[in-house]
A = this chain, B = another copy of it.
């Protein structure tokens, strides 16, 4: 779509430093944008890239604007403003209303006439599909699934029985929502399956990445609240609740019955144990192991960055001998007439809180 810089400035409340009638029709990177493209600068670290840009305009903040050799769209939050401008210049394709003849649709499914049902989609009994919703090719909607208006299932999304999805939520290929939670009771002869009888409620404005899985609750529902963003290949266990506006990066797993608050940001490859409670506004850096609850907003970490392999092996060997190190220190302390038990924080290691295995 083609728009003028003036129109963008007005629509998104930017200060325009440049000619309002200049037209743009796309976005680009600072390094490669052409004169019809809008670029952005959100991180001051990249300010040096401004000097050589040939973009039609750059979205940036007031401080960086002084260094901008081309038209500037000055915004308080340049990244969010860029995102909105990109959405105008490159609108998401819509799918035509109607049902592909190859779709298999139960007679009693209630599908809004403005919705799209794609090729080979399978829509089960008592399913409801809201206005303008898109059920892409190869999606499977089991009995009783409900999609609110403007939901988009890109392709090959599986929603098991009774899953409800809120308005404007976007689910990517390979997502599975509502498969059985991992519940088994150990008996003398092996495992007894615990029937998984809850469902999953997914809020509005949620986005869930490719091949991510969300299990149905054991008795009550698993809940993903509004505006939650889940990256690819994430596992959400049964009975979990994820609060509004929380974002989780790829390869992270959340074990069953854990509650995560609102506005949390959780990095990739994090392992979160079961039956925990994580309060609002918690940030967890990538690869952390979360084995107990968090009741105070803040940033939390574990995970030790890499070393060259030989140096790392030495460190691990040292680590494995920490007990002996403490003993040697105590020998020295005693020889020096000091009392090891009086040393700071010299508590017995056995007094340590036992760790729950994350993800049990």
| A positions within 8 Å CB-CB of B | 27-29, 32, 42, 77, 79-80, 82-84, 86-87, 90, 92, 100, 102, 104, 118-120, 122, 136-138, 140, 142, 154-156, 158, 160, 170, 172-174, 176, 179-180, 182-187, 190-195, 197, 205, 207, 209-211, 213, 215, 219-220, 226-227, 229, 231-233, 235, 237, 244-245, 247, 249-251, 253, 255, 267-269, 271, 273, 283-292, 298-310, 312-329, 331-333, 335-336, 338, 340, 343-347, 349-352, 354-360
Q: Distance in Å from the Cβ of A100 to the closest Cβ of chain B?
A: 7
Task: Tell me which of A83, A84, A331 has the highest count of chain B C-beta atoms within 10 A of its own C-beta.
Answer: A83
Whether A352 pairs with B316 at a CB distance below 8 angstroms is yes
Contact of A268 among B87, B298, B303, B359 (CB under 8 A): B359
Whether B287 pairs with A83 at a CB distance below 8 angstroms is no
A187: B residues at CB distance < 8 A: 77, 80
Report how far A24 CA is from B308 CA in the complex, Å: 46
Report how far A140 CA is from B146 CA in the complex, Å: 24
Whether A195 pairs with B250 at a CB distance below 8 angstroms is no
A327: B residues at CB distance < 8 A: 343-344
Report how far A209 CA is from B329 CA in the complex, Å: 50
A359: B residues at CB distance < 8 A: 249-251, 267-269, 286-287
Whether A140 pairs with B137 at a CB distance below 8 angstroms is yes
Report how far A80 CA is from B192 CA in the complex, Å: 6
Contact of A328 among B319, B322, B333 (CB under 8 A): B333
A90: B residues at CB distance < 8 A: 195, 197
Task: Tell me which of A137, A173, A321, A322 has the highest count of chain B C-beta atoms within 10 A of its own C-beta.
Answer: A173
A319: B residues at CB distance < 8 A: 304, 315, 319, 322
A324: B residues at CB distance < 8 A: 343-346
Q: Distance in Å from the Cβ of A9 to the closest Cβ of chain B?
A: 18
Whether B286 pairs with A316 at a CB distance below 8 angstroms is no
Whether A179 pairs with B186 at a CB distance below 8 angstroms is no
Between A and B, 30 residue pairs with Cβ closer than 8 Å are A27-B197, A80-B186, A90-B195, A120-B138, A137-B140, A155-B160, A180-B209, A209-B213, A235-B251, A235-B268, A251-B253, A251-B271, A253-B268, A253-B269, A267-B360, A269-B271, A271-B303, A299-B310, A300-B306, A301-B306, A301-B309, A302-B303, A302-B312, A304-B304, A313-B355, A315-B319, A321-B346, A321-B349, A331-B338, A335-B336
Whether B292 pairs with A289 at a CB distance below 8 angstroms is no
Q: Distance in Å from the Cβ of A270 to the closest Cβ of chain B?
A: 8
A27: B residues at CB distance < 8 A: 195, 197, 219
- Please list the 5 inter-chain residue pairs (A to B) with the smallest Cβ-Cβ separation, ordered nearest first: A268-B359, A285-B357, A317-B349, A286-B359, A286-B358
